């Protein structure tokens, strides 16, 4: 009798332990990926002279081994709405794969497709594990603290580098892909441990938004953390980030007003008011060191007309006058072949390389991802920073080539993973 009751108790505890382990693994996966993305400026090694193995590639392999080991022991459950997300991705992936055969650089076209497959794998692993997350506050707290640590180190090293600025001002990237870069007008810009100040801004925006929304952190730590993250974002002097941050925030607040979730708006308004005061003090302190971020930012906005982006965009638009390119695409790496790089516009790159068909397939996925995030907000308030950074990313696509970066796919995976878990298959 006692043995039978003990076995019954074990059977009841087993689903709970499985759910707990899945939630822990989901947190580990997200933290590993975000750390590798935030440290993307640190080069690991290069294979065959041109294939750069980044930290996120190593993180993806490690996550895959853990994920595969888990699903080998536990039956994987996938909700119906998650199946819909996969259904939207499959035709897009197939169409991108077909573009390899038209690529003007076949080998590099293949490597780009492999990057997409890596990102699809990230989407699959994160979404299927995060599907078990009951409360996102634990994840948001971890993301917030990652941002605090990285931004603190970035600001300290940036300020230290300014002491030697007179010696390094003639070098665009004096420290390789980290700490600081010297932009037009010999303006120093913080890039943290990313390869680009604009990428740093996008990665760190997620930590900022998580800081606004996390509820299990003391008010003092929250304000201090948000202050250092905000200061680091300001020191990047990113025009695109500033513009799209404002636009995405307005859109998000409009959505919350429509959903009558005004309490979520206040999660932003209160800390933003305090941050404004603290940042003024911080700016005055930095200015005493001979650096005026506001003046530098104003100069960068004045120089916006000289950005090479507009030349790249005009060149791509001219090529799109060819009906075959417009509808079916010119093949992967075609934009790189044409411009010697990329156009700094993910949508134009995608349209030129994959045509209206590829562009339409991606747009469909982006729209449904946004709708999925909005629909889930009614039950999952912790999803708010992820929806916000997703909106911001869609706007940042207008200024940067991010389609094959793992970050958008990580964010999309978490959005698709949340919602009702009924009807698991």
308-361 pLDDT per residue, tens: 888 888 999 998 988 988 999 999 999 988 888 888 899 999 999 999 999 999
Contacts of 352 (CB under 8 A, 6+ apart): 316, 319, 320, 325, 329, 330, 334, 335, 338, 343
Cβ–Cβ < 8 Å for 414, 127 = yes
- Cα–Cα distance, 153 to 6 (Å, whole number): 52
Q: Give, in degrees to the nearest 5, the angle at Cα 60 between 57 and 62.
A: 110
The answer on pLDDT for 13 being more than 60 is no
Cβ–Cβ < 8 Å for 232, 154 = yes
Cβ–Cβ < 8 Å for 240, 399 = yes
Read off the pTM. 0.90
The answer on pLDDT for 262 being more than 70 is yes
**Strands 187-192, 179-183: pairing kind:** antiparallel
Q: What is the pLDDT, as a whole number, of residue 274?
A: 79
**Strands 179-183, 45-47: pairing kind:** unpaired
Q: Mind listing the pLDDT tens digit for each residue in 115-157?
A: 999 999 999 999 988 887 877 899 999 999 999 999 999 999 9
Q: Mind listing the pLDDT tens digit for each residue in 391-403?
A: 999 999 999 989 9
- Cα–Cα distance, 1 to 362 (Å, whole number): 59
3-state secondary structure of 182: strand
3-state secondary structure of 206: helix
Nearest CA to 190 out of 221, 226, 158, 161 is that of: 158
- Cα–Cα distance, 357 to 339 (Å, whole number): 22
Identify the band that residue 17 occupies on the pLDDT scale cut at 50, 70 and 90.
low
Nearest CA to 268 out of 384, 183, 407, 120 is that of: 384
The answer on pLDDT for 237 being more than 60 is yes
Q: Mind listing the pLDDT tens digit for each residue in 225-234?
A: 998 999 899 8
88's enclosing H/E stretch is helix 80-99
3-state secondary structure of 218: coil
Q: What is the pLDDT, as a whole number, of residue 72?
A: 81
Range 239-262 average pLDDT: 92
Q: What is the pLDDT, as a whole number, of residue 286?
A: 63
- Cα–Cα distance, 29 to 195 (Å, whole number): 22
Range 65-70 average pLDDT: 90
The answer on pLDDT for 93 being more than 50 is yes
Q: What is the pLDDT, as a whole number, of residue 300?
A: 77
Nearest CA to 266 out of 256, 277, 276, 275 is that of: 256
Identify the band that residue 203 occupies on the pLDDT scale cut at 50, 70 and 90.
very high
Q: What is the pLDDT, as a whole number, of residue 126?
A: 93
Identify the band that residue 3 occupies on the pLDDT scale cut at 50, 70 and 90.
very low
Mean of per-residue pLDDT scores for the chain:
85
Q: Mind listing the pLDDT tens digit for each residue in 273-312?
A: 877 777 777 667 666 666 677 777 777 777 777 778 888 8
- Cα–Cα distance, 39 to 208 (Å, whole number): 17
Range 378-387 average pLDDT: 90
Q: What is the pLDDT, as a whole number, of residue 342?
A: 83
Taking the domains of the chain in order of start, what are their residue ranges?
81-132+306-417, 137-299
Contacts of 120 (CB under 8 A, 6+ apart): 89, 93, 409
- Cα–Cα distance, 176 to 191 (Å, whole number): 11
The answer on pLDDT for 42 being more than 60 is yes
Q: What is the pLDDT, as a whole number, of residue 269?
A: 82
HSE at residue 190, side-chain half, CA atoms within 13 A, is 28
- Cα–Cα distance, 188 to 167 (Å, whole number): 12
The answer on pLDDT for 266 being more than 90 is no
Identify the band that residue 425 occupies on the pLDDT scale cut at 50, 70 and 90.
very low
Nearest CA to 367 out of 384, 391, 347, 386 is that of: 391
End-to-end CA distance of the chain: 35
Q: Give, in degrees to the nearest 5, the angle at Cα 202 between 268 and 79.
A: 80
- Which tokens in the block code for residue 422? 């009924």
Sign of CA dihedral 171, 397, 120, 377: positive
- Cα–Cα distance, 75 to 60 (Å, whole number): 21
């Amino acid at each position: 009798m006692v043995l039978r009751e003990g076995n019954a108790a074990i059977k009841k505890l087993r689903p709970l332990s499985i759910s707990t382990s899945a939630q822990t693994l989901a947190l580990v996966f997200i933290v590993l990926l975000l750390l590798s993305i935030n440290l993307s400026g640190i080069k690991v090694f290069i294979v065959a002279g041109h294939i750069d193995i980044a930290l996120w590639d190593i993180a993806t392999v490690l996550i895959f081994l853990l994920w595969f080991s888990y699903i080998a022991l536990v039956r994987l459950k996938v909700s119906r709405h998650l199946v819909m997300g996969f259904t939207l991705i499959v035709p897009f992936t197939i169409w991108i794969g077909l573009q390899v055969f038209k690529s003007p650089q076949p080998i590099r076209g293949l490597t780009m497709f492999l990057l997409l497959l890596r990102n699809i794998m990230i989407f699959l692993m994160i979404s299927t594990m995060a599907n078990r997350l009951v409360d996102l506050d634990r994840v948001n707290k971890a993301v917030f603290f990652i941002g605090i640590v990285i931004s603190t180190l970035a600001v300290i090293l940036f300020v230290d580098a300014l002491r030697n600025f007179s010696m390094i001002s003639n070098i665009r990237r004096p420290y390789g892909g980290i700490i600081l870069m010297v932009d037009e007008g010999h303006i120093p810009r913080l890039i943290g441990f990313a390869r680009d100040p604009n990428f740093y801004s996008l990665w760190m925006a997620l930590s900022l938004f998580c800081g606004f929304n996390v509820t299990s952190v003391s008010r003092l730590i929250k304000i201090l953390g948000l202050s250092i993250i905000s200061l680091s974002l300001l020191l990047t002097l990113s025009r695109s980030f500033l513009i799209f941050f404002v636009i995405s925030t307005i859109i998000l607040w409009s959505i919350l007003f429509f959903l009558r979730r005004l309490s979520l708006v206040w999660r932003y308004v209160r800390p933003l008011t305090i941050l404004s005061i603290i940042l003024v003090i911080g700016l005055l302190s930095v200015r005493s060191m001979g650096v005026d971020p506001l003046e530098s930012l104003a100069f960068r906005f004045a120089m916006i007309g000289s950005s090479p982006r507009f030349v790249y965009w005009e060149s791509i638009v001219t090529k799109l006058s060819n009906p075959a390119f417009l509808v079916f695409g010119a093949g992967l790496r075609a934009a790189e072949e044409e411009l010697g790089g990329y156009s700094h516009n993910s949508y134009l790159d995608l349209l030129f390389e994959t045509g209206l068909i590829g562009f339409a397939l991606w747009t469909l996925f982006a729209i449904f991802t946004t709708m999925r995030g909005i629909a889930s907000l009614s039950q999952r308030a912790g999803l708010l920073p992820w929806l916000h950074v997703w909106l911001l990313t869609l706007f940042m696509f207008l200024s940067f080539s991010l389609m094959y970066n793992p970050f958008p796919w990580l964010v999309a995976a978490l959005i698709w993973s949340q919602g009702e878990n009924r009807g698991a298959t």
